[in-house]
């Protein structure tokens, strides 16, 4: 069974541009979460989606947005990129429901570099 | 969300047990303890979780103290491939994972 897949694997953008990152969850998983990981830090929670609805949001500006599609895949969008947005962006999928949603399966991430 | 405290780094000899401690003194009664690890340049990997009782799976054992204020992740026979950053996380009521800086475990030959 395929794991969580993310695309692209690497991306280079310039300040002020927009970026869209994509994630496909494990088959049967209906919840998708997004995390940002800057060098030397642990992943920081951005969003969680379940059944196309936003279920949680971390402390990130409105330049960050996401959505989930009927097939449970998800996109993360970041507008007006800043140098500080350079990071590894991780997607994780899980079965929803209480503490079970803490068991998340992560993709390999998209490494974004903003110049 | 309950905060966790972990040592910054630890070393372990290959083949020996690795015991990774975590303090979570403000944990609430219904909050679970989760452990993940992240091997360099990869996404985090789920290891194990527990509420009150000790848990064991094919990867590790989780020992939670009776007062639930601390826990220990045990890798019974560490290998070089277990070198990674290990994160101890208390799952909050909003069911989101809050990662700290974790413990860098280095397994030495």
Unique residue bearing structure tokens 């799952």: B91
B91: chain A residues, CB-CB within 8 Å? 99, 102
8-state DSSP, B82: G
Per-residue pLDDT at B1: 64
- A71-99: average pLDDT: 92
Model confidence over B14-70: pLDDT tens digits? 999 999 999 999 998 888 999 999 998 899 999 999 999 899 999 999 999 999 999
Residue A95 CA to residue A101 CA, distance in Å, equals 6
Q: Is the pLDDT of residue A20 over 90?
A: yes
B48: chain A residues, CB-CB within 8 Å? none
Per-residue pLDDT at A37: 96
Bridging pattern class, strands A10-13 and A110-114 = parallel
DSSP B16-55: S-EEEEEE-TT--TTPEEEEEEE-TTS--EEEEEESSS-E
Per-residue pLDDT at A74: 97
Cis peptide leading into residue A8 (ω within 30°): yes
Residue A15 CA to residue B19 CA, distance in Å, equals 44
CB B34 within 8 A of CB B91: yes
- A38-65: average pLDDT: 92
Integer CA distances (angstroms), B50 to A33, A44, A81, in order? 21, 22, 39
B38 CA: distance to closest CA in chain A (Å): 9
- Which of A31, A54, A102 to mutate: most B Cβ within 10 Å? A102
CB B96 within 8 A of CB A56: yes
- Which of B6, B38, B44, B48 to mutate: most A Cβ within 10 Å? B44
**Average pLDDT score, chain A:** 93
Interface touch A99/B98, C-beta < 8 Å: no
- B67-84: average pLDDT: 96
Model confidence over B82-96: pLDDT tens digits? 999 999 999 877 778
Per-residue pLDDT at A101: 73
Integer CA distances (angstroms), A106 to A12, A19, B4, B37, in order? 22, 20, 21, 11
């Amino acid at each position: 069974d395929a794991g969580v897949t993310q695309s692209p694997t690497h991306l280079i953008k310039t300040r002020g541009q927009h970026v869209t990152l994509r994630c496909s969850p494990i088959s049967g998983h209906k919840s998708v979460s997004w995390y940002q990981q800057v060098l030397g830090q642990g992943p920081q929670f951005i969003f969680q989606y379940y059944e196309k609805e936003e279920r949680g949001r971390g402390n990130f500006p409105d330049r960050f947005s996401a959505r989930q599609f009927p097939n449970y895949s998800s996109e993360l969008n970041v507008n007006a990129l800043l140098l500080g947005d350079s990071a590894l962006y991780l997607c994780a999928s899980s079965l929803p429901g209480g503490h079970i949603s803490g068991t998340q399966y992560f993709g390999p991430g998209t490494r974004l570099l903003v110049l | 969300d309950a905060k966790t405290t972990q040592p910054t780094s630890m070393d372990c000899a290959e083949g020996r047990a690795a015991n990774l401690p975590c303090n979570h003194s403000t944990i609430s009664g219904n909050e679970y303890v989760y452990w993940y690890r992240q091997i360099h340049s990869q996404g985090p990997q789920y290891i194990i979780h527990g509420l009150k009782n000790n848990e064991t799976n094919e990867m590790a054992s989780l020992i939670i103290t009776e007062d639930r204020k601390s826990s220990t992740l045990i890798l019974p026979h560490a290998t070089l491939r277990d070198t990674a950053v290990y994160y101890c996380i208390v799952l909050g009521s909003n069911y989101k994972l809050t990662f700290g800086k974790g413990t860098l475990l280095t397994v030495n030959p």
